Chains A and B, each alone.
Chain A
């Protein structure tokens, strides 16, 4: 909303009520955005919402867009590192009995590849997309709990650094990303490697939980007036459901990693069968998180698909309600199928069959989503641009991954392919096909919003075809070599098994796929520096993030938009109605009701602060120290308490004194 032509202002109906009720006494009021000309409004808001200058200022930022940009860049760097891991592994496996890396390094490589891609790339990058876009899409000025959001980023960075520094010191975890006991337990996992895994998991999940809480509150309480539940954009719904899944799934893995570190450091025997513990308990706890984790990564990607398809099909998504209900159904069902990761552990047959049925069941809501998207595309030839190409790539690959998922759901069939390269192929089709391709599409789609410039369409098409060919060449043959009996996580294989040729082919595909990311990185940098100016709404899309300038100002919207349709920009061509009445001299948000999004109250939004960073350093140091002694928790509590006191110290605002 960069221009002055959005003039059809409407007063907030309940704003008057709020004042009348005396919620906010008039004598404490400062200037508001009512009756103020556009130029001075922008000046006021820019001064109120800016990130302070200087290094300290930058480190203190609580602007959701600044934090999200940092998240996106950091996660992309971790993607590159994880990808390099994969390339080294593929060179090692390109022929039988190759000697590029030994078993010790290879086991660290695939563990780091797994934890980096899952915990340092996939989850953070989908959450970061949400941090950037959700406040814009719901039409508010900042995310809820902005300092918590800043804190989450610093904790995430320290977790990632912790893992990668330990890799540089050749003491990275070597027990696989799911680190089964007893292999990771005190007896068979000597050194600090499994401890690094355990605490790094705890770090990143703390960060993930913080973002989830902030997202839920933003979506429930900060939506623009009029954005009732049925008008929430599908991407926001996807992030909302994901956040709930995070809130219920992440504690399970934090318990797992904490139990593990208790076994290793404190001498408990929770997972030790010799002392009455249970090794399988670990797997149940881990997969109770681990399966929802897949949907934590996948659901936001479906939100991206639901945002990209309408923009290029030039119509709202078909079956909006069906899509929302599918998201919720998938969120619920994702907690009911963890046992299909454990069919080979020898469970009772009846119980296992139940999980076959539940695993098959989740294909139905996912099918509903696929069919609704296809139906959206059926109104005529869509506008084919790079984001949509990646959505097509998503259909091509994710449907394969979904169907092999149906195969894995069958207990007997799973017993042949479990822990083989077939499974490796399956989950890369689901995670790369189902999540990374939509993410790449989303990168091309929202890059103009974030930077104000377009990425190259020509390079984008090259990137797409290179990625599609490389990906399928690398991962499709893995199905076959898995059926030929190649287990996963082997650093070498004998020549006489005849897996050499196909592995060479796979490795060539993997290198091609890696190169496609080099091209992507080039396109990102080139676009940021030299791209054509994008304008506010280069795709003529319908949701609120396109209503503000590109890149958006620190305060997102000069005046809070009022929503009348699920695609507000299509419904109100040219002049979006706005709500006014917020103060401009302090950071103030409009809080609305959960279901109908009626404007409810005005609420302060936190100002920049260095304390979240200091708190994250204290927490990070405590976690790091705790792999050496459990007393770290005691000694670390003091600095954490100090930083939290600093963080929450009353500012002398009138509200604080009430």
Chain B
């Protein structure tokens, strides 16, 4: 049985080392907040491990002693009791000291985290929906306000302020390699400041149970150099690309005639729905349906043809389309870079 335990232990360690390269991991920090937190996690873990080992040693000690079988249970050695009392009091004292230390440590870590957002130039409003993220870039100039979905581009190396709220149920925004999580609560506005040290793509997902498709409510933070970020913003402000091929033109017509138009917006066309993700530049995004599928022609077709198969319970309805119609709409959307 001991061997079994060792095999289990060894397997656990191997699995542990394997997974450390994860891209949605609190142990793989890519920003100042997550780095501070990863340090805190390791420190707490180390200290707790030491305490645990000490308790286990204390538990193992009597197993090495001789049995106390024949002694009368009520006959207690007063001297030994006093020694024990001193040991117990010392242990309690040490516990208190450790706890005070950890409390102070977590208090100062909190201050460090709060300092990250002291001068944010960019504010992004993130609104949770069942089961996708609406992302709105705020700007003093109304024409520069930008709405997109699920993917949040930010300039690398700069602190960014996220305003978090929800229009339906409670969600929680969590990109572990950048920061801890914060809830999106209807009727409230929470503020989360994040910063990515380097350009990269950081995955996150909803962390508060929000219904049927809680599992498929992913998001990506895409950190880019400032110039590239500015260029991206300008591109996104442009209206949708006009379809070029006949098939895509047919697709645009179909999109505007079918129920799609009731919920989705495509800038530069009459489609102005706001209850579902903005599709003006959908083909420039990396995933579909909040991280459920990677962006590709095949996946677009699969998602439109069978949304309830891809993401059961989602609010995207099945729209009755023939094969040709489906292809046309996919061709149109695929062009919306």
Interface residues in chain A, defined as those with a beta carbon under 8 Å from any beta carbon in chain B: 102-104, 107, 175-176, 180, 182-183, 187-188, 273-274, 278-280, 310, 313-316, 318-319, 322, 344-346, 349, 352-353, 356-357, 360-361, 363-364, 367-368, 370-372, 374-375, 377-384, 392, 395-396, 399-400, 403-404, 406-407, 409-420, 465, 469, 472-473, 476-477, 480-481, 483-485, 487-494, 497-499, 501-502, 505, 509, 542, 565, 567, 570-571
Contact = CB atoms under 8 A, between A and B. Distances in A.
B131 to A, nearest CB: 10
20 contacts: A104-B312, A273-B188, A315-B73, A345-B183, A356-B107, A364-B95, A371-B92, A410-B102, A410-B103, A420-B207, A484-B19, A485-B25, A485-B204, A487-B205, A487-B214, A489-B214, A489-B215, A501-B19, A542-B73, A571-B74
Contacts of B186: 182, 273-274, 279
A176 B41 contact: no
B121 interface: no
B18 interface: yes
B173 to A, nearest CB: 9
B59 interface: yes
Contact of A403 (B36, B52, B66, B168): B52
B48 A406 contact: yes
A392 B106 CA distance: 32
Q: Which 4 pairs from chain A and chain B are nearest by CB? A: A415-B180, A273-B187, A380-B68, A410-B106
B181 A370 contact: no
Given A107-B212, A406-B102, 4 more contacts: A103-B215, A273-B188, A318-B88, A360-B99
B113 interface: yes
A183 B168 CA distance: 8
A396 B56 contact: yes
Contact of B169 (A188, A414, A417, A489): A188
B41 A483 contact: yes
Contact of A371 (B88, B177, B185): B88
Nearest to B184: A346
Contacts of A364: 92, 95-96, 99
Given A364-B96, A364-B99, A400-B52, A345 B185 contact: yes
B239 interface: no
Nearest to B218: A494
Interface string B159-182: 000001000111010101101111
Nearest to B41: A413
B181 A381 contact: no
Contacts of A406: 44, 48, 99, 102
B211 interface: yes
Given A370-B55, A477-B12, A411 B205 contact: no
Nearest to B75: A315
Contact of A483 (B25, B74, B84): B25
A575 B110 CA distance: 63
Interface string B301-336: 000000000001100000000000000000000000
A410 B312 contact: no
Contact of B181 (A349, A403, A407, A419): A419
B110 A411 contact: yes
- Which of A345, A384, A410, A565 counts the most chain B CB atoms within 10 A? A410
A106 B12 CA distance: 27
B27 interface: yes
Contacts of A104: 212, 312-313
A78 to B, nearest CB: 23
Contact of A399 (B52, B110, B215): B52
Given A406-B99, A483-B27, A399 B74 contact: no
Nearest to B190: A346
Nearest to B15: A502
B12 A505 contact: yes
B231 interface: no
A407 B43 CA distance: 10
Interface of B: 1, 4-5, 8, 11-12, 15-16, 18-19, 21-27, 34, 36-37, 40-41, 44-45, 48, 51-52, 55-56, 58-59, 61-69, 71-74, 76, 80-81, 84-85, 87-88, 91-92, 95-96, 99-100, 102-103, 105-107, 109-110, 113-114, 130, 164, 168-170, 172, 174, 176-177, 179-183, 185-188, 190-191, 203-216, 218, 291, 312-313
A313 B68 contact: yes
Contacts of B15: 477, 480, 501-502, 505
Given A360-B99, A497-B22, A416 B88 contact: no
Contact of A377 (B62, B99, B114, B170): B62
A380 B41 contact: no
B164 to A, nearest CB: 8
Contacts of B91: 367, 371
A314 to B, nearest CB: 5
Contact of B185 (A279, A361, A473): A279
Nearest to B34: A416
Contacts of B25: 483-485
Contact of A490 (B45, B92, B109, B215): B215
A542 B74 CA distance: 10
B169 A182 contact: yes
Nearest to B292: A494
A407 B44 contact: yes
A346 B186 CA distance: 13
A360 B97 CA distance: 11
A362 to B, nearest CB: 10
A183 B128 CA distance: 13
Q: Which of B4, B12, B19, B191 has the most CB of A within 10 A?
A: B19
A227 B66 CA distance: 34
Contact of A469 (B5, B95, B114): B5
Contacts of B130: 188
Contacts of A316: 73-74, 76
Given A360-B102, A416-B181, A483-B26, A103 B212 contact: yes
Given A413-B37, A416-B180, A279 B187 contact: yes
A496 to B, nearest CB: 8
Given A103-B312, A344-B183, A476-B12, A314 B109 contact: no
Given A412-B106, A469-B5, A497 B182 contact: no
A418 B206 CA distance: 12
Contacts of B213: 103
A356 B103 CA distance: 7
